Structure 1
Amino acid sequence: MRDNQEEDGLGSRNTGTPELLSTLDQGILTLTLNRPEARNAMSDPMLEAMDRELAFAEGSNEVRCVVLQGSGRAFCAGGDVKAMGENPITPSKLDDRVEYQCAIQRATSGRLVAMAKPTMAIIHGPAAGAGFALALACDLRVMARPAFLLTAFASVALSGDFGIGYLLTRLVGTARAREMMFLPERISSDRALDMGLTNWVYEAEDLPKQAAVIARRLASAPPQALGYMKEHLNRALSSEFGPYMDREVRCHIDCSQTADHLEGVRAFAEKRAPLFSGH
């Protein structure tokens, strides 16, 4: 996706900072973490811009899916460890920092999980710490073969944030999540595929093209149906079965009243691909 965007000269959105780039093309909102000199380590300006762009994505009918990727050689190194050493949090500012971090993490990882639109992380290089968590917060992940995943928090005596323990537990189970958090080791792309941490692995040179194909499929899908699907999948681990099915029925019938459903039925009868308008 990075190469395609550069070649196609897509129009960009003003994020307010060069540390996050944003483009919207044919329903695909692509957010690029852009601190390559720091392996795309997170900063307040980057996260605040991501908050704004994800809020835009939630509220815009133009956006059909969100793609998250990194510039340079890494996806995201997580927190900026160098900055942590240079600017430690003083005791007098702890409460303010806790409040800020709670808000920004709900607005980024939390929004990626909850928003009624499909999200995908393109992991072309290392995803570590909170960067790993951001990737896990996306609905789908696609990796380049040389890329790897790493929890990393224990190595710098931190307990983890951006929802990583919650997300890991749901993807790989409690025992494996504990192993990964307590004893951080690099997880290769092939192992990540075997563990269910990524959906696809491609050679590095094939990743942009293959990721673009997946993103276009997501953007051309019926948005109301996918939004309800995501809601159901998010509730599946916490809801009782009866209420879950009741909600499923309501959403299923709501979808049956849409123009997209009628288009899908017509396309099936006419033996052609459907063209979903989002209505």
Structure 2
Amino acid sequence: MGDLVTIERQGRVAIVRFDTGTRANALSQALIRALTDAARQFHDAPDVSTVVLTGRADQFTLGADLKDPERAASAGAGLSERRILLRAGPRLCQAWEDVDALTICAIEGWCVGGGMALAAACDLRVASREATLYVPEVERGMNMSWGSIPRFVALVGPARTKRLAALCEKVSAQTAHDWGLCDHITEPGGALRQALEIAKRASGLPPTALKMVKQDVNVAAHALARATAHRDLEAFLLTQESEDFREGVAAFLEGRKPDYSGD
């Protein structure tokens, strides 16, 4: 995992932090792999009851790293290779959903795009009052993938998912709490502290019973998730062939308003 991801243990609580050293704290391919590996450490960990996931103290993440050299290098790859490369994001979120222990995501600052997909794959979310949750993929000419749509629907329902992921509304922490998208709001700088309080309380419960209930809830909530999200990777590949995708990404990188043609 190198310098991107650190893991700390406090009794039956594990804390996973990720920090790229940049303001955006963006999800590069290297960071996605490191966070996936971190989650898999807790798939079979009887001595861990809760796992807290957090980003930088000032920023969770601004989402996928559009300037990632690995992403640029894959631009000319064929369809088969790109399908494989694009599995990294869905694999990351599934790895976190499959953690046996209760997972709690602590959010400060912005939680954008892939960051929202990752947060939704956790069991609980704690957000600073100044946090903003935002899913901009459609504004970039893409669909929202990584298996996140059924997770959003399970959390906030169909209409609010459309507001979040189709209309790209920027959601404040208070609105997210009102919707059920996050479970607790704290003062700025307090998200990790609140998440740890919940984690320590959970770690005092019988661990096997806790994990069993978590898995039962997930099965009930996500029974149709795979049927709903199975095509989102292919849809993402398709949108990457459009002029609107190229315009959306170019406009973002150039800091201007996009001019979509509908192609």
TM-score range, shorter chain: 0.7 to 0.9
2:175 matched to 1:191? yes
Q: Aligned partners of 1:138, 1:49: CA distance in 2, in Å?
A: 17
In the superposition, the TM-score normalised over structure 1's length comes to 0.74
Aligned with residue 56 of structure 1, among 32, 41, 46: 41
Shift of 1:165: 1.1
Aligned with residue 12 of structure 2, among 27, 35, 56: 27
- Equivalent residue, structure 2, for 1:210: 194
Contact 2:116 2:133 survives alignment (8 Å): yes
- Indicate the structure (1 or 2) with the bigger Cα radius of gyration: 1
Q: Aligned partners of 1:97, 1:30: CA distance in 2, in Å?
A: 33
Shift of 1:212: 1.9
| Higher normalized contact order (CA 8 Å, seq sep 6+, divided by chain length) | 2
> Is the partner of 2:42 in helix, strand or coil?
helix
Residues 86 and 56 of structure 1: is their aligned pair in 2 closer, same or farther, counting only changes over 3 Å? closer
Q: How does 1:40-79 map to 2 (within 5 A)?
A: 40-79=25-64
Aligned with residue 144 of structure 2, among 155, 160, 172: 160
Shift of 1:48: 1.6
Residues 163 and 238 of structure 1: is their aligned pair in 2 closer, same or farther, counting only changes over 3 Å? closer
In the superposition, the TM-score normalised over structure 2's length comes to 0.78
Shift of 1:151: 0.5
> Is the partner of 1:87 in helix, strand or coil?
helix
**Unaligned residue ranges in structure 2 (runs of 5+):** 224-263
AA paired with 1:236? A
TM-align CA RMSD: 2.2
AA paired with 1:130? G
Shift of 1:106: 4.5
Q: Aligned partners of 2:144, 2:191: CA distance in 1, in Å?
A: 29
Residues 49 and 192 of structure 1: is their aligned pair in 2 closer, same or farther, counting only changes over 3 Å? same
Contact 1:145 1:202 survives alignment (8 Å): yes
Deviating above 6 A after TM superposition, structure 1's stretches of 4 or more consecutive aligned residues are: none
Q: Aligned partners of 1:131, 1:225: CA distance in 2, in Å?
A: 29
Greater per-residue helix proportion:
1
Q: Aligned partners of 2:74, 2:170: CA distance in 1, in Å?
A: 29
Q: Provide Cα deviations, 1:221-277, integer angstroms capped at 9, x if missing partner.
A: 2111111111211122466xxxxxxxxxxxxxxxxxxxxxxxxxxxxxxxxxxxxxx
Shift of 1:84: 7.5
2:113 matched to 1:113? no
Shift of 1:25: 1.9
Shift of 1:210: 2.2
> Is the partner of 2:26 in helix, strand or coil?
coil
Greater shift, 145-154 or 32-41, is seen at 32-41
Contact 1:36 1:72 survives alignment (8 Å): no
Q: Provide Cα deviations, 1:66-97, integer angstroms capped at 9, x if missing partner.
A: 11101142101110123389816334344223
Contact 1:36 1:74 survives alignment (8 Å): no
Q: Aligned partners of 2:134, 2:212: CA distance in 1, in Å?
A: 32
Q: Percent identity?
A: 26
2:135 matched to 1:151? yes
- Equivalent residue, structure 2, for 1:4: none
AA paired with 2:166? F
- Equivalent residue, structure 1, for 2:243: none
Q: Aligned partners of 1:184, 1:112: CA distance in 2, in Å?
A: 24
**Unaligned residue ranges in structure 1 (runs of 5+):** 1-14, 240-279
Q: Aligned partners of 2:222, 2:113: CA distance in 1, in Å?
A: 26
Residues 88 and 158 of structure 1: is their aligned pair in 2 closer, same or farther, counting only changes over 3 Å? farther
Q: Aligned partners of 1:38, 1:155: CA distance in 2, in Å?
A: 22
